[in-house]
């Protein structure tokens, strides 16, 4: 059973916000790396978050196709 259109719109909005936040974090980590601050642990957390976000985006895309 597909998700209601309103729910899909909310999910899309939040996914877009999360992707923007990831870009912002990537910029901060790049700046930290340039200044010589170790970012290994943060990069691993970011990598995991990006993988989770990718899975959620795939879920969303499938739900949109079901709704059509």
pLDDT digits (tens, 9 = 90+) for 12-36: 999 999 999 999 999 999 999 999 9
- Average pLDDT over the chain, rounded to an integer: 95
Kindly provide the residue ranges of all beta strands, DSSP E only, lying in the chain, ordered along the sequence.
Answer: none
- Looking at 1-68, list the stretches that DSSP marks H as alpha helix, in order from N- to C-terminal side: 5-34, 40-67
Task: State pTM to two decimals.
Answer: 0.83
């Amino acid at each position: 059973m597909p998700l209601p259109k309103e729910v899909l719109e909310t999910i899309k909005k939040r996914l877009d916000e999360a992707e923007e936040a990831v870009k912002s974090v990537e910029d901060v980590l790049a700046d930290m790396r340039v200044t010589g601050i170790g970012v290994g642990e943060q990069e691993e957390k970011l990598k995991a978050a990006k993988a989770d976000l990718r899975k959620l985006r795939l879920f969303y895309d499938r739900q949109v196709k079901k709704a059509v």
